[in-house]
Each structure stands twice: as C-alpha cells, then as structure tokens.
Amino acid sequence: MEHNIAVGLDIGTTKIVAMIGRKNEYGKVEILGIGRSKSLGVHRGVVNNITQTIQSIQQAAQEAEASADMKIDGVTVGIAGQHIRSLQHSDYITRPNSENVIDDNDIERLINQVHKLVMLPGEEIIHVLPQEYKVDGQGEVKEPIGMYGGRLEANFHVVVGQVSSIRNIGRCVQSSGLSLEGITLEPLASANAVLSQEEKEAGVALIDIGGGTTDLAIFRDGIIRHTAVIPFGGNVITEDIKEGCSIIEKQAELLKIKFGSAWPGENKDNEIVSIPGLRGREPKEITLKNLSKIIHARVVEIIEQVYVEIKNYGHEEQKKKLIAGIVLTGGGSQLKHLKQLVEYITGMDTRIGYPNEHLAGDSDEDITSPLYATAVGLVLDGLKRQERRKTEIKQLEREENESVDEALTKKPVKERRSFLDKLTERVKDFLDNAE
C-alpha cells in the first residue's frame, strides 16, 4: 500500500466499516474507498464471536478495496465497548536535582508511575492523559518542560479496559489477513472527526450514539477531560419497539429509521403505519404516537445516564463549564427531534456532528454522515501516525549523517511516544507469540 494512505477499521456492534483515505495537497483528507458489512459477532462493542467478526471484517475490507481499486494491508482499529472505564488520579515524582530544568524524561517517569496503579484482574491501563501539572506546589501549569522545580505532580485522566477484549480485536484483525498499525479509543477518534479546535477549547461533550454503546468524550481547554462508555445504544431502542409492538427486529429497525421520533408530542393520534403480518397473518397497525412514546422513554434513559457522566466531570462548576455544549454523532444521532430532546433534558446547546471537519470539500454526502464519524476519525489517526513515523525516520537519517563528534556533543532528541503506540506493540507481540 502506498504511503500517505491510511485505513480505518471501525468494528461496531451493528456494522463494520473499512475506510481508505489519503491527505491531499491542501492537508484535507480525501476518502478513496469505503466498505461496510453487517457486524454479527460483536455485542455492546465487545467481540463475542471471533469467526463471524473475521468474516465481517474481510467483507468490509474487500468492499473498500474494490471501491478504491487497491490492496489494504495495515489498519488503525478503534476500541470501545462496555469494558472501558475511566478514573481520575494524581501522582508526583521528586526530582534528584531541582537545578536542572524539567524535561521529557521527567514526564515519562511520572507517567510510568501512574502505570503502576493496581487494577482489577484482567484490566489494563489503555490511556494516561495528563490534565494539568504542579511544580513545587504551583498549580495550573499546562506545560512544565523547561521549568525548574524539585517536585513535579499532575492530575491524570486514566482510561482502563479489559486486556482480553483488546487482544480479541487484534486477533480478529490479524486473522482477517490485515496487520494492526494502531489502536485508538473510539470516542477520541470520533471527536477528532467532528469537533473543531475552538469547541475543544471552549468545552464540549461529544456523545457518540452507536448500536451497542454510547460513548462520551469531554474536552475543555483543548484537553480531553473525561471519557465514559454507556452500555446502551440504538439497538435497545429497536429491541423496545420489537417487544412493545410485537413485530420482528427487521421491521422494528425500519420503523425506527423511517417514522421514529424522540418527541411524542409531534405525532397526531390518527397517524398509523400498517406492517405486513408474518406468513399470511393480518397486517398490524401501529400508531406513530405509540412508536415515539416507546422511543422517547428509552432515549431519555440513555441521555440521562450520559448527563450523569457530564455532571460527574463537574460541568456545573463555573470553571469547568462546557461552553460549546453537546455534539451528537454516530448512527443513533440521526433520530428525528433528538437534538431538541437533548437540549430539553440537559439545558445545553446541542448540534449534530458531521465528520466533515477535516474532509476535502467534494466528499460524498454518504461519507459525511454521522454514521461514519468513528471511521473517519480512525483514518485521521492512521495518517497522523504515518506522519510521526516519517519524522522519526528523517531524524534517524539526519543523526546517521552527522559526524561522530557532533553526535557525541548533541543530546539525542527523544519523541514521547503515546501510550497507545506502546499498547499496539504489546498486542502485536502477544499475537505474534501466541499460537
């Protein structure tokens, strides 16, 4: 596969999407090909049937290859699911010599200290995100590098997940004949695709309503402050319609998409949909008012759970207020009148997030649908990873070309690798050695 091209693989509960993208000369992303298949082996974001998941991934990858007319090998994959949780933690290190300035190594030492936190069995730290630093008790330091101080402390946002679930995803990707280029948290990927930098600065909550889970990512001052995965999504709404109207799942899903609304007051009592009966039975008549009552009840429950998380982050404190409000994305965000309902429940400004923040202007309308927010975000992440790799290679070449004397006098420049890169490598090593 040629350079400057990245593939995002979004393994969701309802669909699996493979998306191929590249950067054009204006720094925007062009989507070259896209493939989607029905996801059969995933429940609430967690793989529960490896064989079916592999088949679905292969189908999506083949479709993407056909539409872009190229072969895929490496992919950036997203992890989410009900096994992800996050916690706040503060930690500190004492520096041996406070007369030297703080550098990358100190920060690495501090971050590595957080990794020693004791987790529940089978859990592992996926992401350690520094929030703000303190140097010798002086708070609200955004970037401590270059400062003097003996004690360096920080508040961290720590994201934790089940190792086995992450390994299963890696296994599915590898068995599909693809190589694992990178692993990213799905709420972060979606956020990159739909949020603008201004929103992240002002404070915003991104709610990604998928089929099996609803992901939340909160940003403020340009930094991610809180993440959560709520184990409900669009599928439970479909389930409720199926149970409440005694119809089959396929019909319930169609009803939800075509006639569903999150606001019951919208429909008149006499609006009725007729659904063909099974195998010669009488057709069923369902009032749209009842349909939207069923949807409304479940949606309110999902939003209230998300709102609890937003309050847990501290949105009600003046200093932590989310000025840019809420952005809804994911397939579930396409439900009629959802925006109004979210505004009504939370009292926060709300908009629907389309992943066109970084896409080239002439992108297909299908691709800029909220359905594909995560996939677009994963492509962006893959492209970023490649750029980082290029800079590292260039740096190595430069260092090799410099004379030995220069190399001895110069301090090596070390780039801080994100913890997700390390996690990706660990998962790869595990898969290579496990048989």
* Mean pLDDT value across residues 125-138: 89
d(CA 381, CA 193): 9
pTM of the model: 0.89
| 372's tokens | 């594909």
Beta bridge partners of 223: 220
**What is the DSSP track for 377-431?**
HHHHHHHHHHHHHHHHHHHHHHHHHS-HHHHHHSPPP-PPPPHHHHHHHHHHHHH
Element housing 352 (H / E): strand 350-352
Q: Is 268 exposed, middle or buried (0-12, 13-18, 19+ CB in 10 A)?
A: exposed
Query: Is residue 246 assigned to a domain?
Result: yes
Instruction: Check residue 129 and give its pLDDT.
Output: 86
d(CA 138, CA 152): 10
Q: Go through 302-323 and write b for each residue having 16 or more CB atoms within 10 A of its CB, e for each that does not.
A: bbeebbebbeebbbeeeeeebe
Query: Is residue 310 assigned to a domain?
Result: no
Q: Taking 70 as the threshold, does the pLDDT of residue 416 lie above it?
A: no
Residue 314's φ and ψ, nearest 5 degrees, are: 110, 25
Instruction: Check residue 45 and give its pLDDT.
Output: 86
Query: Is residue 253 assigned to a domain?
Result: yes
How does pLDDT run across 174-232, given as a tens digit for each residue? 999 999 998 988 998 999 999 999 999 999 999 999 999 999 999 999 999 999 899 99
d(CA 359, CA 31): 8
What is the count of structural domains for the chain? 1
Q: Higher model confidence: residue 265 or residue 287?
A: 287
Q: How confident is the model at residue 408 (pLDDT cuts 50, 70, 90)?
A: low
Task: Share the mean pLDDT of the chain.
Answer: 89
Query: Is residue 274 assigned to a domain?
Result: yes
Query: Is residue 325 assigned to a domain?
Result: no
- Contact call for residues 28 and 361 (beta carbons, < 8 A): yes
* Mean pLDDT value across residues 84-88: 88
- Contact call for residues 352 and 340 (beta carbons, < 8 A): no
d(CA 230, CA 317): 23
Query: Is residue 187 assigned to a domain?
Result: no
How does pLDDT run across 62-79, given as a tens digit for each residue? 999 999 999 998 999 998
* Domain containing residue 256: 234-296
Query: Is residue 36 assigned to a domain?
Result: no
d(CA 268, CA 266): 7
* Percent of the chain at pLDDT exceeding 70: 95
Residues 6+ apart with CB under 8 A from 73: 1, 178, 179
Q: How confident is the model at residue 279 (pLDDT cuts 50, 70, 90)?
A: confident
Q: What is the CATH number of the domain that holds 265?
A: 3.30.420.40
Strand ranges, E, within 24-65: 29-38, 42-43, 46-47
Query: Is residue 287 assigned to a domain?
Result: yes
| 42's tokens | 């995933």
Q: Taking 80 as the threshold, does the pLDDT of residue 39 lie above it?
A: yes
How does pLDDT run across 341-396, given as a tens digit for each residue? 999 999 999 999 999 888 888 778 888 999 999 999 999 999 998 888 888 888 88
Q: Considering only CA atoms, which of 271, 258, 236 is closest in space to residue 334?
A: 258
Q: Taking 80 as the threshold, does the pLDDT of residue 435 lie above it?
A: no
